[in-house]
Structure formats: C-alpha cells, structure tokens
Amino acid sequence: MAVKLIKRIVDAIQPGDKDVFLFDEDLIGFGLKITPAGRKVYLVQYRIRGIKKRVMIGVHGSPWTPDLARKEAARVLGMVTDGQDPADLKAQAKVASTVAELCALYLEEGTAHKKSSTLYVDRGRIERHIIPLLGKKKVCDVTRADCERFLNAVSDGKTATDEKTKSRGRAIVSGGPITANRALGLFGAIMTFAVNRGLRADNPVHGLRKFRENRRDRFLSQEELTRLGDALVKVESEGGNPVALAVIRALILTGCRKGEILCLQWSQVNFEQGCLLLPDSKTGTKVVVMGAPAMQLLAGLQRIQGNPFCFPGWKEGLSIVGVPKVWERVRTLAGLTDVTLHGLRHAFASVGVNAGLSLPVVGALLGHSSESMTARYGHLASDPIRQAADRISGQIAAALDGNKAEVVPIKKAL
C-alpha cells in the first residue's frame, strides 16, 4: 500500500494482528513497518542482483521523523544505485563497531594491494599505537579531536616501549613526530576504508595537520666517497663479512633500495642486457639499468648451489637479513656517522645530478619513472639511461678507489 508518509498519517496508523507495511508514494523503496505491538519502524526496501532486501532505518519518534527518515532512505538508495549493498555494509558495521574490530577487518579485507613487508609494519603500528589509544572507541564516534590527541600522544611517547617478545626477541617502539605522522597516515587509510564500506560518512583524519618533517637527505662529496672506499677496504682486510660489504658496495653503485639489494636473486640479474628485473619493488615491477662497475661487482660474487640469492645469509637457502654491524664499522671508520644506508641512495642521485644529468633520467634510474617495463627493456642498449648508469656508477667507483672519475666499459659475465 502506497501513501504519503507524513507525521500526521504515521501517528494515526493503528496496528493490526500482524505486521503491516506501508510505502511512500513519492520515494520508491521508503517504507514503514507497524508491528502488532504498535512499534513503527522506518525502512528501505530495494533489489540488488535480483534479490529483495530490507534495511531498517529507525523507530518513529525522536530522532526519526518522516522527513529525516526519508533523507536517510534516499542516501541508502543512492548506495544501491552505486552498486553497494547497504544490508551487507550494515552487517559489517556490526562486526567492526569499534576501532580495534575495524583494524582487524582492514587487515583481512583492505590490504590486498600491499606488500608483505608493508603489512608487517602496518600491523606493528596498529598493535602498538592505534589499538592502545583508539581501539575501544566506536568507529562512528571517532572525531577530529580524537585524531589530534592521537597524533600528539604518539609524538609524546605515550605508546613508546622496549620489551622482550620471544626468547631472543625485543620490541622497541619509539615515539616522536615522525612516528606519529606515520601512525596517523595509516589510521587515515583505515578510516577511508571505513568510509568506503559505509561504516561512517566521513574521514576525521582528512585535513589534519601533521608535524613538520625536516628532510634527512645526506649527500656525499667525492672526498667522502673516497673515505668510504678506504673504510670498505680496511674492514674487508680485517675480516669483515664479505657479503655484507658487497651489499654496501651494491647499494652505492646502483642507487637501489636496501630491500631490493638484500633480496636480489640471480634470476633477476640480466648480464647480457646489463640490468636487474625486479618483480616486487616498492614501486612495483621495474627494470634497474646497471652501470658497468655494478655489473662487475655482481659478476664477481660467489654463487652458492641451492641458494637463489645474490647476497646469501648464514641460513641455508636464504638471503642476508641486514648489514647493521658491518655498516656501523664502515661509516665510523670513514667518519660518516650521520650517513644511513638509505643515504647511499641519495649519494647515487646527487652524483648524477651534479654531473649534469637530467632529473627524469636520474629519477628513472632510482625507479621513479612510470614507463612500462616492456618499453624500457626493449631500448636498454641505446637508452640514455644506460649512459647515465655507466657515468654515475663509474664516477662513484673511481671515487671509492680514490681515483679521478672515469667511465669504464661494461663487462659481461662469462
């Protein structure tokens, strides 16, 4: 039965001996259910994928007037038009009513596009920062002020800890502005997920001002590169881990990210074309054009049967995990204690820029280019990026050896 659902009519309707349904004559799908006990409930009825469904809006009375219920019904029907199922979203809202429950749903269903290494960091931020400070709050009740307090609390070290996790494990959780910015950024992504799922109408993190971050770029001069080269030689002569030292050399000669080098496999090295084919870098699948000194370094590495990694670790079949101890020795000996491993990537870029290479070319070497892998791979032989790779790594290699920079021809593996 279709009627004009206005307050006078709704108030006058009497209950029957079974549920009675009335639908608005203006907004198709907007209705009212009257139970035998006299309870009057506003609802939305719709079809999606051929299935009829109903979503309850609220009981007639404060705050649900016919006009307010009609507006909500129009919003819900708009979701159906966009292909969303309000009934399913409402069920999810019950599952993820608190921030802690929302985080669990996000990790289960909202992270398919993320790498496992990124997920590992996300879980840490959720468990160590978000849940302790916001976990018990209802998703729909989180305000902008809550997010501001969260940002300040993490920055002030309210969630900082240093605790033993396993027999030999240790969890060190720091505070500070940068940690707070990263935690808030993740929480903003989780809130966006909530909005997309219809769990709330807005994202309270949007527009919130984060702490200012000072750029930590640290570029190396040629004299510093020479000191670094001398330190590498000295640590090697003193019995330093040769694999770790090779990792450091590879980082400075290629400009690659630490994870790309540590996990590099022989199947990803193309000696014929002089490049790396990385299937899972931070920016996705990409080709890394290598300079001659970098390829010579790889060609000189010892291969271990049964281990696919270029830089093998102590455990059979696995790669080296990290080089913190060796790097600490090298940078201390070189007097570069303020330089991080990631700083070697900055050094690679700065050598290229100072040599007069264009920013797009240097950016392509660093993996900042959006060109497809196939197009770049097909032109490696004559691409100016090849010349740039040779020029940068050649100049760095010369500086490491304490010589005047020179470009050397590429040497292919036998």
- Encode pLDDT of 93-120 as tens digits: 666 789 999 999 999 889 888 877 788 8
The CATH H-level (homologous superfamily) assignment of domain 222-400 is Intergrase catalytic core (1.10.443.10)
Q: Percentage of residues in the chain with pLDDT exceeding 90?
A: 50
Q: Fold identical between 2-87 and 222-400? A: no
Give domain 2-87's CATH number out of 3.30.160.390, 1.20.1250.20, 3.30.465.10, 3.40.30.10.
3.30.160.390
Rounded-to-5 percentages of helix, strand, coil across the chain: 45, 15, 40
Judged against a pLDDT cut of 80, whether residue 82 lies above it is answered with yes
pLDDT-based confidence at residue 21 (cuts at 50, 70, 90): very high
Q: What size, in residues, is the chain?
A: 414
333 burial (CB, 10 Å; 0-12 / 13-18 / 19+) is middle
- Over residues 215-219, mean pLDDT: 63
CATH architecture of 96-196: Orthogonal Bundle (1.10)
- Pick the closest to residue 248 from 413, 400, 407, 408 (CA basis): 400
Token pair of 136, please? 């018990």
**Tens digits of per-residue pLDDT, 172-204?**
777 899 999 999 999 999 999 998 888 888 999
Over residues 111-150, the pLDDT tens digits come to: 888 877 788 899 999 999 999 999 999 998 999 999 999 9
Domains of the chain: which residue ranges?
A: 2-87, 96-196, 222-400
Greatest mean pLDDT range, 158-167, 168-177, 333-342? 333-342
Mean pLDDT of 54-74: 92
pTM over 0.75: no
> How do strand 284-289 and strand 275-281 relate by DSSP bridges?
antiparallel
Asked if 50 contacts 60 with a C-beta cutoff of 8 angstroms, the reply is: no
Q: Give me the amino acid identity at 405.
A: A
Tokens 């696919």 — which residue? 308
User: Could you give the CA distance from residue 295 to residue 18 in angstroms, rounded to a whole number?
Assistant: 81
Q: Is the distance from CB of 298 to CB of 411 less than 8 angstroms?
A: no
pLDDT at residue 262, rounded to an integer = 93
